[in-house]
């Protein structure tokens, strides 16, 4: 597994276009990998996130994948897409993933698209393949329940650490609701609402940062590799962890 980082060149018109439409960003990132099948994202275990450098407030791209992205394939089409040469480093399964233990603790970051499916008798309209369409979760309490439920499914639980001196919380989960991400480009995944197709899809983005404890090693490693929640093709679901220093 490889982790790659690349800083966008904000003077490049294609970058501005991609940052404004997550489907276009998805298409651009697909250029970095062999796209021989419709399931290439799952085949190469591709997850990515648009993140921000706190010091410079500059957006950058994080990609987690089974193989190293082919940067030259994108740069042949858009030579000035990045400010500098992208970096990739290997995350060795034997020395990192396999060494993760139950009860081990990490600081985590997850940019997610929390959604739910309402009961058909409550909202009535909006069916797709026999199911009600997903709707975004925006209530704070429901968001906390969502991450706790997803965490349990993914082999971890949210933790808190209190200072022994002041009894203050040092590490606690927090989340931030971010601007909506839109898809304006027509594409084959557009959901049917009633009898009409949507011209635009909107993804509600929430970034969770906090302190977790591993409760199931196998499920946790699987969630690190395959991501959490829906919208993985559009920059959601990548779980980043950092060693906890007490």
Which of 93-102, 109-118, 161-170 bottoms out in mean pLDDT, i.e. has the lowest?
A: 161-170
User: Domain check: are 106 and 203 in the same one?
Assistant: yes
Same domain, 174 and 237: yes
User: Which residues have a Cβ under 8 Å from the Cβ of 214 and sit 6 or more positions away?
Assistant: 100, 101, 102, 103, 104, 105, 106, 155, 156, 220
Let me know if 79 is exposed, middle or buried by CB neighbors in 10 A (0-12, 13-18, 19+): exposed
Question: Could you tell me if 208 and 234 lie in one domain?
Answer: yes
Residue 22 sits in the same domain as residue 108: no
pLDDT for 40 equals: 74
Strand ranges inside the chain, DSSP E: 2-7, 47-52, 59-65, 87-90, 105-112, 115-116, 127-128, 131-132, 135-136, 156-159, 161-162, 169-171, 174-177, 181-183, 192-193, 196-197, 201-203, 206-214, 239-243
Which residue segment(s) compose the domain that 110 sits in? 98-243
52/131 same-domain check: no
CATH of the domain at 187: 3.30.70.1210
Do 166 and 235 belong together in one domain? Answer: yes
Are 64 and 109 contained in the same domain?
A: no
Cα–chain center distance at 38: 20
**Token pair for residue 206?**
């929430």
Predicted local distance difference test score (pLDDT) of residue 162: 53
In the predicted structure, residue 6 carries a pLDDT above the cut 80: yes
The verdict on 49 and 119 lying in the same domain is no
The answer to whether 48 and 61 are in contact (CB under 8 A) is: yes
Report how far residue 31's alpha carbon sits from residue 179's, in angstroms, rounded to the nearest whole number: 26
pLDDT score at 194: 45
| Three-state DSSP state, 214 | strand
Residues 52 and 130 in one domain: no
**Mean pLDDT on 1-20:** 93
CATH number at residue 38: 3.30.70.1200
* Domain end point (choices 72, 90, 108): 90
Final residue belonging to a domain, choices 42, 74, 90: 90
Residue 136 pLDDT level (bands cut at 50, 70, 90): confident
**Chosen domain end from 90, 123, 140:** 90
Confidence of residue 188 (pLDDT cuts 50, 70, 90): very low
Say if residue 140 is in the same domain as residue 221. yes
- Tell me if the pTM is above 0.75: yes
| Model confidence pLDDT, tens digit, residues 174-187 | 777 766 666 555 44
For residues 202-235, b (16+ Cβ closer than 10 Å) or e, as one string?
A: ebbbbbbbbbbbbbbbebbbebbbebbbebbbbb
**Same-domain pairing of 112 and 226:** yes
Q: Helices in 111-211 by DSSP H: which ranges?
A: 120-123, 140-153
The residue with tokens 């034997």 is 94
What is the token pair recorded at 89? Answer: 């480093």
Residue of 6, 69, 17, 20 lying closest to 181 (CA atoms):
20
Residues 23 and 130 in one domain: no
pLDDT band at 195, cuts 50/70/90?
very low
Residue 41: what pLDDT? 80
Residue 244 and residue 170: Cα distance in Å, rounded? 11
Structural domain count, the chain: 2
What pLDDT score does 190 carry? 46
158: Cβ contacts below 8 Å, ≥ 6 apart = 147, 148, 151, 173, 210, 211, 212
């Amino acid at each position: 597994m490889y982790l790659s980082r690349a800083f966008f060149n904000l003077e490049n018109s294609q970058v501005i276009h991609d940052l404004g439409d997550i489907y276009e960003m998805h298409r651009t990132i697909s250029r970095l990998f062999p796209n021989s099948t419709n399931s290439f994202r799952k085949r190469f275990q591709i997850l990515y996130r648009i993140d921000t450098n706190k010091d410079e407030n500059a957006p950058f791209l994080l990609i987690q994948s089974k193989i190293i992205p082919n940067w030259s394939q994108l740069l042949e089409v858009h030579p000035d897409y990045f400010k500098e040469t992208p970096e990739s480093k290997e995350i060795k399964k034997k020395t990192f993933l396999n060494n993760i233990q139950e009860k081990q603790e990490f600081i985590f970051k997850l940019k997610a698209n929390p959604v739910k499916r309402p009961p058909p008798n409550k909202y009535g309209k909006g069916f797709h393949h026999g199911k009600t369409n997903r709707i975004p979760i925006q209530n704070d309490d429901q968001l906390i329940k969502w991450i706790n439920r997803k965490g349990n499914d993914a082999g971890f639980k949210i933790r808190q650490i209190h200072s022994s001196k002041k009894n203050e919380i040092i590490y606690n989960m927090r989340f931030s609701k971010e601007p909506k991400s839109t898809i304006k480009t027509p594409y084959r995944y557009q959901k049917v609402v009633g009898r009409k197709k949507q011209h635009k899809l909107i993804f509600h983005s929430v970034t969770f940062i906090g302190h977790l404890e591993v409760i199931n090693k196998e499920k946790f490693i699987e969630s690190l590799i395959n991501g959490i929640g829906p919208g993985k093709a559009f920059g959601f679901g990548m779980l980043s962890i950092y060693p906890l220093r007490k």
